[in-house]
Amino acid sequence: MPLLSLLLVCSSIAAFAQDALPSWNDTASKQQIVTFVKKVTTQGSADFVPPEQRIAVFDNDGTLWAEQPIYFQFFFVIDQLKAQAPQHPEWKTTEPFKSALAGDFKGVAASGEKGIAQLLAATHAGMTTDEFSRNVNQWVSTARHPKTQRVFTEMVYQPMLELLHYLRDNGFKTYIVSGGGQDFMRAWAQATYGIPPEQVIGSQGDLKFEMRDGKPVLVKQAKVALVDDGPGKPVGIERFLGVKPIFAFGNSDGDQQMLEWTMSGDGARFAGLVHHTDAAREWAYDRQSSIGKLDKALDEATAKGWTVVDMKKDWKQIFPPQK
């Protein structure tokens, strides 16, 4: 092999080995991410950000893992209802339980926030936080998505897993800020994303301290303490972090305020949206979807130059290889 050809091959191999985002195509989205990270982590750069200020926040549903045909936590709720149904024969004729047990998602949606709160109270309230965590871990290890037949923790996005690792390798601290249940996500986020429980912010119910069998426990209550969605996301960030992130990723109008809050700070900032455009490998949806609707946030991203990741064009693969 001629020396020049050998050098070119070696150069290509080295470049591939150093690529921290191998599941991303070499498009503008990837370049924007890499450029941002480089400028905020390079000593002497005008945009340099000290490590302690490198805070990155991510939505979960539709951003780090899939969310169709319904949010995955709701599959968990349905399975919990089915397990408890023999002790509650009245659920067969009472809404929203009747619709939930029948898999009628439109019927559940018609019950509104009050109906969903009833379902959450029936399946979450009254148990200790440890009991709930065990239930969730058992469920995520066995339950499978109805379309792909993968366990739900394999329905994560490989490119986003790489992005989380890439940011942490460059001194960022990564947080989940999601409308999903905080305790639900904390049960498995570290094993799946490498994000510890204390770096997960989500919707929360009240807790009550009790003594059971001589041991202190925290018991989940039916009352909602924080809805960490839409304008609730900046509230959750401020309550738990006390600082504005410099990097934020979402996928829907429910993430718009989190991205606006992130971009309102001083210095270099990054806002990104995952746009679901791949009907063949995942799902294609945006403005008309009842789950993960992306409409106003997409318009704002276009107007303000935020990074919009086109799943079909920007990602070489969607999910990790099956185990």
Structure tokens at 123: 């399946």
Q: What is the number of residues in the chain?
A: 323
Does residue 89 sit in helix, strand or coil?
helix
Q: In sequence order, what are the residues at sequence separation of 6 or more whose Cβ sits closer than 8 angstroms to the Cβ of residue 172?
A: 54, 55, 56, 247
CA distance 139 to 12: 43
Kindly list the structural domains of the chain, giving each domain's residue range(s) and its CATH number in brackets, ordered by start: 21-67+156-314 (3.40.50.1000)
Structure tokens at 127: 């148990």
The structure tokens 């986020």 sit at: 189
Tens place of pLDDT for every residue, the chain, 323 residues? Answer: 444 444 443 333 334 337 999 999 999 999 999 999 999 999 999 999 999 999 999 999 999 999 999 999 999 999 999 999 999 999 999 999 999 999 888 888 788 767 877 888 888 889 999 999 999 999 999 999 999 999 999 999 999 999 999 999 999 999 999 999 999 999 999 999 999 999 999 999 999 999 999 999 999 998 888 889 999 999 999 999 999 999 999 999 999 999 999 999 999 999 999 999 999 999 999 999 989 999 999 999 999 999 999 999 999 999 999 87
The DSSP code for 146 is T
Cβ neighbour number for residue 1 with a 10 Å cutoff: 8
CA distance 6 to 275: 40
* CB-side neighbour CA atoms (13 Å) of 123: 29
Q: By the 8 A CB rule, do 272 and 249 touch?
A: yes
CA distance 261 to 321: 35
| Residue 82: C-alpha distances to residues 214, 247, 305, 316 (Å) | 32, 40, 46, 38
3-state helix, strand, coil in the chain (%, to 5): 45, 20, 35
pLDDT at 113: 66
- The CA angle 88-89-90, to the nearest 5 degrees, is 90
CA distance 233 to 183: 16
Residue 39 Rama label (left phi>0; alpha psi -120 to 50; beta): alpha
pLDDT at 121: 83
Q: Which of 150, 134, 133, 139 is nearest to 282 (CA)?
A: 150
CA distance 120 to 109: 14
CA distance 37 to 174: 13
